[in-house]
Structure 1
Amino acid sequence: MIYDFNKIEKKWQDYWATNQTFKAENISDKPKFYVLDMFPYPSGAGLHVGHPLGYIASDIYARYKRHQGFNVLHPQGYDSFGLPAEQYAIQTGQHPAITTAENIKTYRRQLDQIGFSFDWSREVRTSDPSYYKWTQWIFIQLFNSWYNNDSDKAEDISELVKLFEAEGNAKVNAVCDADIDPFSAEDWNAFTSKKQEKILLQYRLTYLAETEVNWCPALGTVLANDEIINGVSERGGHSVIRKK
């Protein structure tokens, strides 16, 4: 008997796509289980061996948990907003929106051919404004919040301003910088708005600070440690310096 894997695999992959077999239910009595892969950079003409190397293991586990009766959320997406996509566009002389869209088509086709059990109804693309508007929204929520140790939760920064206006900061039990000078309500109300904002920055959940970063002049960007190999950028082999 001949095992025609091309015909058999296509049949079931088409069935899974048509019936959304791996779609996680929003409302279900089943226990929840989340299997998340690192999203690939769509910065090449197709997948490399490292992609399925990781995805196969997590996909096996996702299928195993489904068989155990779990409502498994196993999404996939593309980390398409950043240096890899930008560099690929520069190397090929095309606009990143064009190269990213074309590469995603190829990645999706290859991922489907391998037969992964992803919930494609939850696909994300980090270069999509409808996605990254939420990362910006989260930052704004953090910026407009402080952490109240008494209530053990984050609260709106306006509540902290009310406390300062009423009693200063002597009794405020908050997560904050270590070198904050004490002030009374009278002091606070007499401060200029600029000084008040400077003090609030010492309490907000996002803050300003000086630190050293990996600066790559040739790429015109800051690099993470894992984007540097032997002192040069992984993309292009450019020199990297430590800079404030």
Structure 2
Amino acid sequence: MATVTDSASPTQPSDATPQHRYTADLAGRIEQRWQDRWSEEGTFDAPNPVGELAPDDDRSVPADKLFVQDMFPYPSGSGLHVGHPLGYIATDVFARYHRMQGHNVLHTLGYDAFGLPAEQYAVQTGTHPRTTTESNIANMKRQLRRLGLGHDERRSLATTDVDFYHWTQWIFLQIHGAWYDKDADKARTIAELEAELDSGERTLDDGRDWASLSAADKASAIDSYRL
């Protein structure tokens, strides 16, 4: 009696990972390649109509503009926590939707680097606040980039940048040097108020004689008018 045998031996399972198997490591490499390309090509750069940030070629800038700004993270820790992307991803979806609708979307992010948290973190680590802040910002930028968010990286800022807080100081000085004229229903400069008081065109609200006041009393009276 003839015996039937299988000529082919059964395939043995292999522990080797297939070359093109989609793994977390492969997904990460694909993501990074695209993120590198986005940065190199300025995919999410929002062009200005004119000036240094205007397009280099003849491309037209969409007339419909949209500015998307997230709340600045505090670089008072070594990195982001899971609560940060919870909001940032939702904002990114909103920005991407409008970008695909043809809007010129400016979506960027800054870092709120002043304040007590940054100071406390510096004390805890025994490092100068600027050193810890700049190091933490660099790490946060790395983490945000790996999330694949569509930020215009050229416009990123920190509140400790001189070019930024120069203007916050300027705004404060404009407010400090102004007062509200109820009669004119608008803000005017302190210099105009002093000129009107010196000329007698205006009198103090409390009835005191401006001309008879000492320099200190005049300064105190002026301060009561400031915004």
TM-score (norm: length of structure 2): 0.77
In 2, Cα distance between the equivalents of 1:104 and 1:53?
19
The one-letter amino acid paired with 1:22 is F
| Contact 2:62-2:103 at 8 Å conserved across structures | no
In the TM superposition, what are the counterparts of 1:84-233 in structure 2 within 5 Å? 84-166=117-199, 167-169=201-203, 180-183=205-208, 187-205=209-227
RMSD of aligned alpha carbons: 2.0
Structure 1's unaligned 5+ residue stretches are: 171-179, 206-244
TM-fit CA distance, 1:41: 1.0
The 10-residue stretch of structure 1 (3-12 or 112-121) with the greater mean CA deviation from structure 2: 3-12
Q: Deviations over 1:86-125 (max 9, x none)?
A: 1111111222222112111111111000011111111111
Secondary structure of the equivalent of 2:69? Answer: coil
The one-letter amino acid paired with 1:76 is L
Structure 1 161/106 Cα, relative in aligned 2: closer, same or farther at 3 Å? same
Counterpart for residue 18 of structure 1: 40
The one-letter amino acid paired with 1:14 is D
Aligned length in residues: 193
The 10-residue stretch of structure 1 (49-58 or 142-151) with the greater mean CA deviation from structure 2: 142-151
* Higher radius of gyration, 1 or 2: 2
TM-fit CA distance, 1:140: 0.9
TM-fit CA distance, 1:158: 0.9
Q: Deviations over 1:122-168 (max 9, x none)?
A: 11111233322222221111100112345443222111222223322
Structure 2's unaligned 5+ residue stretches are: 1-19, 50-60
In 1, Cα distance between the equivalents of 2:21 and 2:122?
44
Identity %: 50
The one-letter amino acid paired with 2:116 is L
In 1, Cα distance between the equivalents of 2:100 and 2:181?
43
In 2, Cα distance between the equivalents of 1:61 and 1:149?
43
Secondary structure of the equivalent of 2:108? Answer: coil
Counterpart for residue 238 of structure 1: none
Counterpart for residue 8 of structure 1: 30
The one-letter amino acid paired with 1:203 is Y
Structure 1 7/129 Cα, relative in aligned 2: closer, same or farther at 3 Å? same
Structure 1 151/11 Cα, relative in aligned 2: closer, same or farther at 3 Å? farther
| Contact 1:30-1:69 at 8 Å conserved across structures | no
Secondary structure of the equivalent of 1:155? Answer: strand
The one-letter amino acid paired with 2:130 is A
In 1, Cα distance between the equivalents of 2:167 and 2:90?
30
TM-score (norm: length of structure 1): 0.72
Structure 1 23/169 Cα, relative in aligned 2: closer, same or farther at 3 Å? farther
In 2, Cα distance between the equivalents of 1:8 and 1:157?
60
TM-fit CA distance, 1:29: 4.5
